[in-house]
Amino acid sequence: MWPWLGFLVAVKLHIGEQSWLSPGVLVHTHVLADIKIGNFCDIGLGVEIMTSSHEIGPTARRACTGTAKSVFIGNGTWIGAKSIILGGVTIGDGCVVAAGSRRMSAHRSFQ
């Protein structure tokens, strides 16, 4: 599909019609979490989308139990270069995420 696109354990990934993923995009998938990118989306250079993380544990080992949460990116969304989208995030239709952003929570559809 896109030879420059990096996939780690590519499972449960859906990319909508006429969506563009720029060179250097990394999609970190997990068997327990979906990644859905809507139609007519533009994902900028070097964006990272990741579904997995860890709970914070005791001082003996801070990266404790692994977690997996889905990511949903609405139709017509533009995600600027070098942004990071973390698990559990839903970005609504027509949104623009500025270059270099970190999305850790939901972003409503643009009206």
Q: Does 14 qualify as catalytic in the annotation?
A: no
Identify each DSSP E strand in the chain by its residue range: 6-8, 13-15, 20-21, 26-28, 35-37, 42-43, 48-50, 52-56, 63-68, 71-73, 78-79, 84-85, 90-91, 96-97, 102-103
Q: Which residues contact residue 8 at a Cβ distance below 8 angstroms, ignoring those fewer than 6 apart?
A: 26, 27, 28, 29
Given the residues 14, 28, 54, 107, the one annotated as active site: 54
Q: Please state, as a whole number, how many other Cβ atoms lie within 10 Å of the Cβ of residue 25.
A: 21
- Residues labelled catalytic: 54
